[in-house]
């Protein structure tokens, strides 16, 4: 008998798996996937069609299938949960932490979501999920899990260890034991090391640490991420307005948030208007890319109109046309550099950061220095190497200075204004700045030329 091929994330195994699904060779599927990492299995299922993915999930243990659901790409996840019966999905959700369960449920219409919750057998789980659904998904309340370990300050070490054993059945990872009073107010935390080393009759109130960083339920997820990064935290407790402990956020949840935000910023910077993956359909990817491409085309057409407006001047000084690409490219580069630095600063806000006015002044000073250097360099090349008249060289050099100044101004101010109005400032680092600077740069270029060359 031929030995069953073990799991390997490869095209060859993918084909073997598809053959096994078609022939309903369940032994091959179960045994080859046994012990494989759930993230790898999720990546594999993303490549299968929905019928195939559902078939595999139904063969696996519920706890494994639940972990795989959490790892699936959102598009695949939505398709999978649509194919599942409410009772079937509820069985998998009961194997998840409450925050992961909510991440899945919010992808469903309200009626279907309520149907799934109604099938949950564990009352505490359904209560936790309903509680989390009240919060904005990108707030601390939306990111937190309701599964954590806590100890009352009045307990002794023996009582605490018994409670840890009982509570740990529902908690996958133990980072901290949070200490509360009789009214569930958060007081601090105590390490497992201190509990183990203390005598059995020692009270928790004598060994816990009160210098604990916590976050309120309404805090924005980005702020939570910055706090956890700054203080190198693996988890952080979440409290309500009355300082009662209501949940915890772990580092893996924050890493997922950071990854999603980075992808959104990258897509915004490159002019993609929706969340798309390489594996998405041609129509969906095209639809996401077209808006900014169309804006770029419109900008190009307007640029042609500007050049056409100065057609008479160009006919007198044909050489002006040779330097249009230089002016446009420099303006675009300066604008993107300026906006990227501002966006980076906005993404990692600190109490020590400059005020918007200080950033603006600093940006202007940098632009003046860069403009003078680039203007003098271009003037020297045009006059001493290309052999043009000094007045022509001065025109190109001064135009370069003005374009650098204007592009830097646009690149600095635009993301600050967008951030002020709650719009993703990363948009300013992409086609928006490039298109705007192309148009303004051309207008400035020909404006300077008309003034100095008397066109």
Q: Which of 128-142, 157-171, 283-297: highest mean pLDDT?
A: 128-142
Residue 1's pLDDT is 36
At 390-421, the pLDDT tens digits run: 999 999 999 999 999 988 888 888 888 777 77
Class of domain 149-253: alpha beta
**The residue to which tokens 């090349």 are assigned:** 381
Across 158-167, 259-268, 331-340, least confident range: 259-268
Q: Which residues pair with 220 in a beta bridge?
A: 139
The three-state secondary structure class of 141 is: helix
Q: Identify the helix (H) or strand (E) that includes residue 385.
A: none
Q: Identify the helix (H) or strand (E) that includes residue 177.
A: strand 177-180
Architecture of domain 11-135: Alpha Horseshoe (1.25)
Residue 349's pLDDT is 59
How far is Cα 368 from Cα 374, in angstroms, rounded to an integer? 10
Between 332 and 42, the higher pLDDT residue: 42
Chain mean pLDDT for the chain: 84
Return residue ranges of the chain for CATH 3.10.580.10: 149-253
**The residue to which tokens 């950033």 are assigned:** 359
How far is Cα 56 from Cα 50, in angstroms, rounded to an integer? 10
How far is Cα 105 from Cα 78, in angstroms, rounded to an integer? 10
β-pairing verdict for 177-180 and 149-152 = parallel
Q: Which CATH superfamily is domain 282-453 in?
A: SLC41 divalent cation transporters, integral membrane domain (1.10.357.20)
Return residue ranges of the chain for CATH 1.25.60.10: 11-135
Mean pLDDT of 111-122: 91
With a CB cutoff of 8 Å and minimum separation 6, the contacts of 212 are: 178, 186, 188, 189, 237
Contact 334, 402 (CB under 8 A): no
pLDDT of 437 > 60? The answer is yes
Between 112 and 318, the higher pLDDT residue: 112
Q: Which of 8-12, 129-133, 387-391: highest mean pLDDT?
A: 129-133
Q: Please spell the DSSP secondary structure of 46-113, one letter per residue.
A: TTS-HHHHHHHHHHS-HHHHHHHHHHS-HHHHHHHHHHS-HHHHHHHHTTS-HHHHHHHHTTS-HHHH
pLDDT of 317 > 80? The answer is no
pTM of the model: 0.65
At 349-386, the pLDDT tens digits run: 554 466 767 777 887 888 899 999 999 999 999 999 88
Cα–chain center distance at 362? 29
Name the percent of the chain lying above pLDDT 70: 88
239 phi, psi to nearest 5 deg: -125, 155
Q: How confident is the model at residue 265 (pLDDT cuts 50, 70, 90)?
A: low
Under DSSP, the state recorded for 4 is P
pLDDT of 295 > 80? The answer is no
pLDDT of 274 > 50? The answer is yes
The token pair that represents 416 in the structure block: 């600050």
Q: Which residues pair with 139 in a beta bridge?
A: 220
Contact 46, 279 (CB under 8 A): yes
Q: How many CB atoms lie within 10 A of CB 18?
A: 14
Contact 97, 145 (CB under 8 A): yes
**The residue to which tokens 């505490």 are assigned:** 124
Torsion sign (Cα): 65, 71, 75, 76: negative
Q: What's the CA dihedral at 123, 97, 140, 71 to 10 degrees?
A: -140
Across 42-56, 70-84, 110-124, 258-272, least confident range: 258-272
pLDDT of 281 > 70? The answer is no
């Amino acid at each position: 008998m031929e030995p069953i091929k073990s799991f390997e994330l490869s095209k060859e195994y993918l084909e073997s798996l598809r053959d096994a699904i078609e022939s309903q060779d369940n032994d091959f599927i179960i045994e080859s996937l046994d012990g494989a990492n759930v993230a790898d299995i999720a990546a594999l299922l993303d490549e299968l069609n929905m019928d195939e993915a559902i078939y595999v999930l139904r063969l696996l243990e519920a706890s494994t299938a639940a972990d795989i659901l959490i790892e699936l790409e959102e598009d695949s996840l939505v398709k999978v949960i649509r194919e599942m019966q409410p009772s079937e999905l509820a069985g998998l959700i009961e194997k998840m932490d409450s925050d992961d369960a909510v991440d899945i449920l919010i992808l469903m219409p309200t009626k279907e979501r309520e149907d799934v919750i109604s099938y949950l057998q564990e009352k505490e789980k359904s209560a936790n999920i309903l509680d989390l659904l009240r919060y904005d998904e990108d707030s601390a309340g939306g990111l937190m899990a309701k599964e954590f370990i806590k100890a009352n300050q009045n307990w002794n070490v023996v009582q605490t260890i018994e409670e840890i054993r009982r509570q740990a059945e529902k908690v996958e990872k133990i980072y901290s034991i949070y200490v509360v009073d009789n009214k569930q107010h958060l007081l601090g935390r105590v390490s497992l090391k201190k509990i183990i080393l203390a005598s059995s009759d020692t009270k928790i109130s004598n060994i816990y640490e009160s210098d604990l960083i916590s976050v309120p339920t309404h805090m924005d997820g980005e702020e939570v991420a910055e706090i956890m990064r700054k203080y190198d935290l693996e988890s952080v407790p979440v409290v309500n307005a009355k300082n009662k402990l209501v949940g915890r956020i772990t580092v893996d949840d924050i890493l997922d948030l950071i990854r999603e935000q980075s992808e959104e910023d990258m897509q915004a910077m490159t002019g993609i208007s929706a969340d798309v993956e390489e594996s998405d359909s041609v129509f969906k990817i095209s639809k996401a890319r077209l808006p900014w491409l169309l804006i770029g085309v419109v900008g190009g057409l307007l640029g042609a109109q500007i050049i056409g407006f100065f057609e008479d001047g160009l006919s007198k000084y044909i050489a002006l046309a040779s330097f249009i690409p230089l002016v446009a490219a420099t303006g675009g580069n300066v604008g993107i550099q300026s906006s990227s630095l501002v966006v980076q600063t906005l993404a990692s806000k600190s109490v020590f950061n400059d005020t918007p006015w200080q950033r603006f002044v600093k940006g202007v000073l940098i632009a003046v220095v860069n403009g003078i250097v680039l203007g003098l360099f271009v003037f020297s090349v045009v006059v001493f190497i290309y052999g043009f008249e000094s007045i022509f060289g001065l025109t190109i050099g001064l135009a370069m200075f003005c374009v650098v100044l204007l592009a830097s101004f646009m690149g600095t101010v635009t993301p600050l204004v967008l951030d002020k109005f709650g719009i993703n400032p990363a948009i300013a680092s992409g086609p928006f700045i490039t298109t705007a600077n192309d148009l303004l740069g051309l207008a400035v270029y020909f404006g300077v030329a008309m003034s100095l060359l008397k066109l």
